[in-house]
């Protein structure tokens, strides 16, 4: 250990990562730490510092890091001698996972559902869902929403809203972009319930306009809470309108639950808040219990796949299925969705109070333990509904100030000015208080250091 480098092992690893890995690194740029141990919500770096993790693998770690239930399921599977890789062959572990998954899905949907195992990432499940509906309907194209994030492969990127990641690439498909209700930055400039109603009316009128330019699409895809879009929850009434509009026009509705699933929003699945029954649900992240796993669940009438129509070498990961089944059952049996609702509501209330004394907080929103704090420049010009310009530079300073205080918080939103909170569902009251305290201190410090 030298005076220049108090943490030589971690520093050396970070240097090698910068040299060896691609320029597409994201979280590694935001959090220049080298985690060596983790348990629950706590991550320990190579420098010995401990951090409260409000990123949770971008929502993957429903039970936090290395939960005993997950580790026990993995060890049990390893000790059993079960084959770890079998493509899509039947195994006891896959059968058990499928049972646990169907038991967890909304009853009206699960009663007539089929499950397709995809490659291990959510983006592949989105691709599969879009292909499935194209096959079923014989149509091309899709309806997607402003602010959406569905993945980085060609079809998933086409329905994603982020212009920066789409701009350098050729077109990924025929997509009609529709307005997503976002009260603070309402696409219609009115906000609230009025903006929500306009979004539904616009969608219906556009689809029915013979000169609207929209060819009947293969599907509509929507997030119940936009994650990368800035923790923007969809109004329940608006979702019910979407379901009515798509049903009446024979348009399959795909709900992307990659980040919202497994209790994250205060219900096992986010669609349960509105009561809608979609035609397909895209699932990944938390369903694998921290290991890579992705599936599409859909109504049986759409099961028009031919053998091999959508495959993937790693779609049958035995350990992920064992860990995933254990996670699904633990969340259900221990009421962790209700716990997410309770803690999330407390945090939302406290953050709203914090907003009252810190004008750099423009909006606080979310559902369950999927929360967003939008940072703004209160000295800027407010728009027609009183919303101030986003302040991404401040958001970066806040993220850095959080890390200095032992809190991992990532950014998102249209302008990367939203602090996103995705703690594990196992967060304790004490940890929730610590998150709030550290976040408040970080915002105050960063705002006070405004250039």
- For 275-313, the DSSP string reads T---SEEEE-GGGGTTS---EEEEEGGG--PPTTSS--T
Instruction: Return the number of other C-beta atoms located less than 10 Å from residue 285's C-beta.
Output: 26
Looking at residue 449, its pLDDT comes to 66
Average pLDDT score over the chain: 93
Looking at residue 421, its pLDDT comes to 98
Residues 357, 260 contacting (CB under 8 angstroms): no
Say if residue 416's pLDDT is above 50: yes
Q: How confident is the model at residue 181 (pLDDT cuts 50, 70, 90)?
A: very high
Sign of CA dihedral 254, 115, 232, 174: negative
Residues 234, 368 contacting (CB under 8 angstroms): no
Residues 347, 148 contacting (CB under 8 angstroms): no
Say if residue 431's pLDDT is above 70: yes
Q: How confident is the model at residue 5 (pLDDT cuts 50, 70, 90)?
A: very low
Total residue count of the chain as it appears in this document: 451
- The full DSSP string for 121-171 is SHHHHHHHHHHHHHHHH----EEEETT----SSHHHHHH---HHHHTTS--
Which CA distances in Å does 126 have to 223, 257, 341? 12, 10, 27
150-173: pLDDT as tens digits: 887 878 878 878 777 766 655 556
Looking at residue 1, its pLDDT comes to 34
CA atoms within 13 A on the CB side of 7: 15
Q: Can you tell me the distance from the alpha carbon of 391 to that of 129, in angstroms, rounded to the nearest whole number?
A: 36
295-346: pLDDT as tens digits: 999 999 999 888 888 888 888 799 999 999 999 999 999 999 999 999 999 9
Mean pLDDT for the stretch of residues 119-135: 92
Burial of 124 by CB count in 10 Å (0-12 exposed, 13-18 middle, 19+ buried)? Answer: buried
- List the one residue out of 215, 203, 207, 205 whose CA is nearest residue 239: 203
214-266: pLDDT as tens digits: 999 999 999 999 999 999 999 999 999 999 999 999 999 999 999 999 999 99
Q: First CA to last CA across the chain, in angstroms?
A: 35
Q: Can you tell me the distance from the alpha carbon of 296 to that of 287, in angstroms, rounded to the nearest whole number?
A: 12
Please calculate the CA angle 155-144-235 and round it to the nearest 5 degrees. 140
Give the residues across from 226 on adjacent strands: 232
H/E segment holding residue 224: none
**CA 432: distance to chain centroid?**
20
Q: How confident is the model at residue 270 (pLDDT cuts 50, 70, 90)?
A: very high
Which CA distances in Å does 96 have to 86, 93, 100, 204, 252? 15, 5, 6, 41, 29
Instruction: Return the number of other C-beta atoms located less than 10 Å from residue 121's C-beta.
Output: 21
Instruction: Return the number of other C-beta atoms located less than 10 Å from residue 300's C-beta.
Output: 9
> What six digits make up the tokens of 25?
């690194």
Residues 123, 172 contacting (CB under 8 angstroms): no
Looking at residue 161, its pLDDT comes to 81
Indicate the DSSP class of residue 425: T
Say if residue 424's pLDDT is above 60: yes
Looking at residue 4, its pLDDT comes to 40
Looking at residue 155, its pLDDT comes to 82
By percentage, how much of the chain surpasses pLDDT 70?
96
Mean pLDDT for the stretch of residues 270-288: 97
Which CA distances in Å does 446 have to 130, 358, 372, 391? 43, 11, 17, 12
* pLDDT top residue among 125 and 25: 125
Mean pLDDT for the stretch of residues 105-129: 94
All residues at 6 or more sequence positions from 357 whose CB lies less than 8 Å from its CB, including other chains: none
Looking at residue 205, its pLDDT comes to 97
Please calculate the CA angle 367-229-247 and round it to the nearest 5 degrees. 75
Q: What is the pTM of this model?
A: 0.94
Residues 387, 185 contacting (CB under 8 angstroms): yes
Among 168-177, 212-221, 440-449, the range scoring the smallest mean pLDDT is 168-177
Mean pLDDT for the stretch of residues 432-447: 97
Mean pLDDT for the stretch of residues 187-215: 95
Q: Can you tell me the distance from the alpha carbon of 88 to that of 116, in angstroms, rounded to the nearest whole number?
A: 10
359-413: pLDDT as tens digits: 999 999 999 999 999 999 999 999 999 999 999 999 999 999 999 999 999 999 9
Place of tokens 């090698």: 16
Which SS3 state, helix, strand or coil, does residue 274 take?
helix
Looking at residue 94, its pLDDT comes to 95
Mean pLDDT for the stretch of residues 187-205: 96
Report helix angle 318-333 to 336-357, nearest 10: 80
């Amino acid at each position: 250990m030298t005076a220049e480098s108090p943490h030589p092992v971690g520093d050396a690893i970070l240097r090698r990562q910068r040299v060896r890995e691609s320029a597409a690194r994201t979280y590694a740029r935001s959090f220049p730490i080298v985690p060596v141990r983790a348990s629950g919500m706590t991550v320990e770096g190579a420098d010995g510092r401990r951090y409260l993790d409000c990123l949770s693998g971008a929502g993957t770690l429903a039970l936090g890091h290395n939960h005993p239930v997950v580790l026990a399921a993995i060890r049990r599977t390893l000790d059993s001698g079960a084959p770890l890789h079998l493509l899509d062959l039947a195994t006891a572990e896959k059968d058990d996972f499928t049972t646990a998954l169907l038991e967890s899905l909304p009853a009206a949907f699960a009663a007539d559902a089929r499950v397709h195992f995809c490659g291990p990432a959510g983006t592949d499940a989105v691709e599969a869902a879009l292909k499935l509906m194209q096959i079923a309907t014989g149509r091309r194209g899709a309806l997607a929403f402003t602010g959406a994030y569905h993945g980085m492969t060609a079809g998933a990127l086409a329905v994603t809203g982020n212009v920066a990641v789409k701009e350098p690439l050729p077109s990924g498909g025929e997509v009609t972009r529709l307005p997503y209700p976002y009260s603070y930055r309402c696409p219609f400039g009115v906000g609230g319930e009025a903006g929500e109603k306009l979004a539904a009316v616009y969608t219906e009128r556009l689809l029915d306009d013979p000169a609207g330019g929209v060819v009947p699409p293969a599907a509509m895809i929507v997030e119940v809470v936009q994650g990368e879009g800035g923790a923007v929850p969809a109004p329940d009434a608006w979702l019910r309108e979407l379901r009515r509009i798509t049903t009446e026009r024979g348009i399959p509705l795909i709900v992307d639950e990659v980040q919202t699933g497994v209790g994250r929003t205060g219900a096992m699945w986010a669609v349960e808040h509105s009561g809608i029954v979609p035609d397909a649900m895209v699932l990944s992240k938390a369903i694998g219990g921290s290991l890579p796993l992705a599936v599409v669940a859909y109504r049986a009438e759409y099961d028009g796949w031919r053998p091999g129509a959508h495959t993937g070498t790693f779609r049958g990961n035995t350990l992920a299925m064992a860990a995933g089944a254990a996670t699904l059952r633990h969340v259900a049996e221990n009421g962790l969705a209700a716990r997410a609702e309770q803690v999330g509501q407390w945090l939302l209330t406290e953050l709203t109070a914090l907003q009252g004394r810190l004008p750099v907080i423009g909006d606080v929103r979310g559902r369950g333990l999927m929360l967003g704090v939008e940072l703004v420049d209160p000295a800027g010009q407010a728009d027609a509904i009183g919303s101030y310009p986003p302040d991404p530079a401040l958001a970066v300073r806040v993220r850095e100030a959080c890390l200095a205080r032992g809190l991992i918080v990532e950014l998102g939103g249209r302008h990367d000015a939203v602090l996103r909170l995705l703690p594990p569902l196992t967060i304790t009251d004490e940890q929730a208080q610590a998150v709030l305290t550290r976040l408040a201190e970080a915002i105050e410090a960063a705002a006070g250091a405004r250039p």
